[in-house]
Structures are given as structure tokens and as C-alpha cells.
């Protein structure tokens, strides 16, 4: 194809079988039940960024046209601070994703996903979540005038449930764990459009804007490494998509290493990447990661390998230590996001984080989302 020819129209791609489908916001999986992604799109050169737009929609040139048939459903997501700090004896930068409208990175994916669904004329959706995804979908559906029912597992943080209800969504508790909740949502999707953030390909189109934003934050250069936590792995896949598009466009010389942390009590991505048997699953303070069977597990592992990255399983006590150390530095992170900061020491010891390089740690959600748990970690003096 000559350089004067326009790029091929995007497709929804099943990476496992190679089958593809027309882009349709109502299609969230393949005919055989496999997850789908949008085929790579041209990354925006610096001059193609709409610098007058203070949201992720400044990168609209790199998003599927179906995501903005009408006006985007935006609450000002994206453009979050990048804070440079010393952490445990070495410099790095924290990307504070809790500055998104509902307090977590999920707003990136939700804005693009709900915009596409609204443009397709959807009037109601169903979603499953352990908290942050559900409250995010509830908020953006409220902004779009779409009715939302959010299925949550037993034990979901009351603060997240309250936030979801505040946006007008119907919250339904499903007996059992996170995976049981997902299975129930998939069953109900036969009758109601599914806005499943772990499944919907347009959600990943929103999370990939984190890669573009880090590139812009750093003067249109990529970091050497990005440390993040993974449950279903949407942030890992978003970084893989975004940095991959920048690499294909010749705008960065290499992919950043994707360094992925999971709690030791629920670490299927780590086990698959390292080729070890997963430990027995147990309760974890990092509730947002408690997904035993991520629907995109092979793709997440492939993304980490492609980047030359690594994984680590973090014990509960180290997650607690990281929550406290971050708070002592003025950063009030929920335990799920603190898991990434807790992993930095191990990645340094392994050489995955190297002196003189630029490393970004993504803090995915605010501690306000886990007020019940954090109250126990920070008791009043008379209660100690």
C-alpha cells in the first residue's frame, strides 16, 4: 500500500482465531465467545492533538469514528497529574489517575465505551464490577441519559456502592465472588446491551489514551518502564495498544517495559507469565484485583512479554505498608493502586527498573473508594 492511500478502516479483531468483524458498539465478543479488540489505528502526531480540549478527547484523531458519532460523553477525564517523587530511595513519577471524575482510571475507558453506545442509540445497559468500573459506568450513563444496572459481588466496598447509586444506577448484589458476578452479567446480556468494561473493545480504546498522555507528559517521549496493578488487565492492554500505535508510527523508538503487580492472594496474570502454578486464592485488601479468571489473560501476558516486562505477586503486608507510606507522602491511594507502588522494590532488585531511566507508577484509584478498609489501617490514637 502506498503512503498516499488512506489506512484501512478499523475492524474488531479476535486475536486468538484471527477472525474479524465490522466495528459495531453493540458487539462485545466474537461469535465463539472470544474477546475482541479494535485493530490498530494511526497514532496522533503532536500536531494532531487537540490541545484546546482538556480531556482524553484531545486524542480523538486516534479513536474509532464510532466512538464519537455524536458529542462525546465526557466528564473531563484524562489529563491527570504526573508527580515526580523519590520512592524508597530512587526517583520515579506517579501518575495520579484518581484525578479522573469518579476517582479511578476506569473513566478513560468508560467515556469512550459509553460514547460509542450512546451514538448507537442504546437506552439501557448492564455492567458487572467490584466497584470502580461500576461507579464509572453509572456516572457516564447518567451523563448520557442511559439507564444502568450494575451487578456487584458480595463484599464490595460500601463507598463504591454508594457512589454508584448516587448516579442513579440500580445496584444488584450477586451471591459469590467477582467471577460469579461476571457470569451473571454475561447471562443477562442476552436481553440487555452489555457495557462490560472487561469485555468491551471500546473500553480499551479509552485506556490506551494513558499511553498517549504519558508520551505527551514527557515531552513526546515514552517512559522506559510503566508499573501498574492488574486485575482483568485493561490498563496493561491499553498501554500495549497506545504505545504500540506510537511505535508503529515511528513516534517512539521502543515500547516501555510493562511491569505488572498483583496481590499474592489473587495473581493469575503473574502465575501465567512466570509459568508457575497460581497459589490458592484468598481474600485481599486489593479488592479491585480479585479476578481469578481474567477474560483476556493470554492477551495480557502477551502484552507484558512483548514489552520485555515482568510481573510480581505482592504479599498483603507489603500492600498495607505501601498504603501507609504513600499516605505519609500525601498520596491517599486505595490498596488496589498501592499494590503497584509496593512492587517497585522487587522490580528494582530484578533490574526491571534501572537507574537513570524514567519509570512511571500508575496509581489507579483514590483511597476514598476504600474508606472502610483504610479506617482500620489508620485508627484514631485512642484506638491503637
51-78 residue pLDDT tens: 999 999 999 999 999 898 889 999 999 9
Residue with cell 524508597: 88
CATH of 82-104+203-377, one of 3.90.1310.10, 3.40.50.2300, 3.50.50.60, 3.40.50.1100: 3.40.50.1100
pLDDT for residue 7: 63
Whose cell is 520485555? That residue is: 308
Cβ count within 10 A of residue 210 = 27
What's the CA angle centered on 15, arms 306 and 271, to 5 degrees?
50
Are 239 and 247 in contact by the 8 Å Cβ rule? The answer is no
Position 307 scores a pLDDT of: 98
Say what the pLDDT of residue 232 is: 93
| Alpha carbons 213 and 82: distance in angstroms, whole number | 10
Provide the grid cell at 188.
443477562
- Positions of the chain with pLDDT under 70: 1-7, 383-384
Q: What is the DSSP letter of 42?
A: P
What phi-psi label fits residue 324: left (phi over 0), alpha (psi between -120 and 50 degrees) or beta?
A: alpha
Residue 1: per-residue pLDDT? 40
For the chain, give the number of residues.
Answer: 384
Contact 286, 336 (CB under 8 A): yes
Helices (H) and strands (E) in the chain, counts: 13, 12
Q: For residues 239 and 105, what is the distance between their CA atoms, to the nearest angstrom? A: 12
Q: Which helix (H) or strand (E) holds 311?
A: strand 310-314
**What pLDDT, on the 0 to 100 scale, is given for residue 3?**
47
Share of the chain above pLDDT 70, in %: 98
CATH of 106-201, one of 3.40.50.1100, 3.50.50.60, 3.40.50.20, 3.30.9.10: 3.40.50.1100
Rg of the Cα atoms in the chain: 19
Amino acid at each position: 500500500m502506498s503512503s498516499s492511500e488512506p489506512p484501512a478502516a478499523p475492524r474488531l479483531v479476535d486475536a486468538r482465531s484471527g477472525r474479524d468483524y465490522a466495528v459495531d458498539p453493540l458487539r462485545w465478543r466474537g461469535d465463539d465467545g472470544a474477546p475482541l479488540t479494535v485493530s490498530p489505528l494511526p497514532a496522533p502526531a503532536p500536531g494532531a492533538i487537540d490541545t484546546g480540549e482538556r480531556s482524553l478527547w484531545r486524542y480523538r484523531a486516534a479513536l474509532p469514528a464510532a466512538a464519537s458519532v455524536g458529542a462525546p460523553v465526557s466528564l473531563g477525564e484524562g489529563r491527570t497529574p504526573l508527580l515526580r517523587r523519590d520512592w524508597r530511595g530512587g526517583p520515579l513519577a506517579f501518575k495520579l489517575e484518581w484525578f479522573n471524575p469518579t476517582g479511578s482510571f476506569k473513566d478513560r475507558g468508560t467515556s469512550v465505551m459509553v460514547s460509542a453506545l450512546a451514538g448507537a442509540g442504546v437506552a439501557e445497559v448492564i455492567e458487572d464490577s467490584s466497584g470502580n468500573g461500576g461507579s464509572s459506568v453509572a456516572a457516564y450513563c447518567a451523563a448520557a441519559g442511559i439507564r444502568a444496572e450494575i451487578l456487584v459481588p458480595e463484599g464490595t466496598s460500601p463507598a463504591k456502592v454508594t457512589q454508584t447509586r448516587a448516579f442513579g444506577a440500580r445496584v444488584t448484589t450477586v451471591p459469590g465472588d467477582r467471577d460469579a458476578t461476571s457470569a451473571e452479567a454475561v447471562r443477562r446480556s442476552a436481553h440487555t446491551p452489555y457495557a462490560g468494561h472487561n469485555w468491551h473493545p471500546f473500553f480499551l480504546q479509552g485506556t490506551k489514551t494513558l499511553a498517549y498522555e504519558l508520551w505527551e507528559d514527557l515531552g513526546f517521549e515514552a517512559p522506559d518502564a510503566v508499573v501498574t496493578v492488574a486485575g482483568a488487565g485493561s490498563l496493561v492492554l491499553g498501554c500495549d495498544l497506545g504505545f504500540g500505535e506510537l511505535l508503529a508510527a515511528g513516534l517512539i523508538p521502543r515500547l516501555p517495559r510493562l511491569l505488572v503487580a498483583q496481590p499474592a492472594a489473587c495473581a493469575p496474570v503473574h502465575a501465567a507469565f512466570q509459568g508457575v502454578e497460581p497459589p490458592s486464592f484468598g481474600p485481599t485488601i486489593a479488592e479491585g484485583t480479585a479476578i481469578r479468571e481474567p477474560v483476556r489473560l493470554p492477551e495480557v501476558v502477551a502484552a507484558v512479554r512483548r514489552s520485555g516486562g515482568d510481573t510480581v505477586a505482592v504479599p498483603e503486608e507489603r500492600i498495607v505498608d505501601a498504603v501507609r507510606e504513600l499516605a505519609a507522602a500525601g498520596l491517599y491511594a486505595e490498596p488496589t493502586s498501592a499494590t503497584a507502588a509496593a512492587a517497585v522494590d522487587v522490580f528494582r532488585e530484578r533490574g526491571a527498573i534501572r537507574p537513570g531511566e524514567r519509570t512511571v507508577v500508575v496509581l489507579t484509584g483514590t483511597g476514598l473508594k476504600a474508606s472502610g478498609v483504610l479506617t482500620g489501617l489508620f485508627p484514631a490514637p485512642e484506638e491503637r
